[in-house]
Structure 1
């Protein structure tokens, strides 16, 4: 945020707290990286050569960066599974729709194809209904029990979640065991 008196950007309180938390978490990671690289005990890191210490800190930031990228990709795929478009992913990340598609190419489910689940002698059909929740299933257990496709509790945000519930239904209605 800029003030009229200065062109300096002042961080928001949340960013200050985040930076503090990251630095607190980074210190033991950097000490561990330094100990591995030099063979010195972690508690001696700050007494070492400043170049070595700085490189250990840089190496620790690389580990953090890789983990943030991994968690970011998971968040993007989760949002896509719940129906977010590349346009919305891009807006959340501050990039264009095309940038989001390039950054997370498999985050948004393009075509929502129906499928069949055969388990425990029964069968369930998974389909995209486009309703709140989106994924539905209907099935018939091996014991002849049928599910009703239109029931609200049969609508799920992801195909995997619908499959898990359908699988539980089929297991419950497996018939003779």
Structure 2
């Protein structure tokens, strides 16, 4: 896969769309920073307006980086390795590994399968969210409390989902589940 190219017409249309989307965000950010209303932003000193726009592009750039990392993790969850991620972004395999170090699990993009935890008398299941590249969990505690997959936060790593699920199971255990077993008489 090669790096996508866009035509001059597509670039012009994209510029217009991005600038139209940026304008309200830049106005709102400048209004918060200065205390002036958003409708007065463009009447300010031109250099201040340009700096507000530049600061807003930084925010947009950070969001694009976040969404790019999510797309890389999603591609990896479907089996793409660093060689293919790099090709899509115009990087070498090593460049892709540096850009998205946690995108690919292991030497080849292994499918992100779930797991089942049995702790404190309850059970939790971990689920990979392939659209975001994150993890969710659902659990039923020993006391009968239930937390569904969509009730739980999206987490970056499987280990985080396991920790949250474990904390839920501990919180919803019964007293007998929390008490350590007595040593066997011998």
| TM tier, smaller | 0.5 to 0.7
- How far, CA to CA, are the matches of 2:89 and 2:80 in structure 1? 13
**Offset from partner CA, 1:94-129 (integer Å, 9 cap, x none):** 11111000000011121649885256989x9xxxxx
Give the drift of 1:15: 2.2
Structure with the bigger RCO (C-alpha within 8 Å, sep 6+) is 2
**Change in CA separation of 1:90 and 1:19 when aligned onto 2, cut-off 3 Å:** same
**Offset from partner CA, 1:73-99 (integer Å, 9 cap, x none):** 000000011100101101100111110
Give the drift of 1:70: 0.3
Give the equivalent residue in structure 1 for 2:90: 94
The 5-angstrom pairing of residues 115-126 of structure 1 reads 117-118=116-117
**Change in CA separation of 1:44 and 1:81 when aligned onto 2, cut-off 3 Å:** same
**Change in CA separation of 1:42 and 1:121 when aligned onto 2, cut-off 3 Å:** closer
Gap regions ≥5 residues in structure 2: 1-5, 126-157, 159-186
SS of the aligned residue for 2:63 comes to helix
- From 34, 58, 64, give the equivalent of 2:60: 64
Gap regions ≥5 residues in structure 1: 1-9, 125-159, 161-177
**Change in CA separation of 1:15 and 1:118 when aligned onto 2, cut-off 3 Å:** same
Q: Which runs of 4+ in 1 moved over 4 A?
A: 111-116, 118-122
CA contact (8 A) 1:34 1:52 kept: no
The 5-angstrom pairing of residues 156-167 of structure 1 reads none
* C-alpha RMSD over aligned residues: 2.8
**Offset from partner CA, 1:110-150 (integer Å, 9 cap, x none):** 1649885256989x9xxxxxxxxxxxxxxxxxxxxxxxxxx
Bigger CA radius of gyration = 1
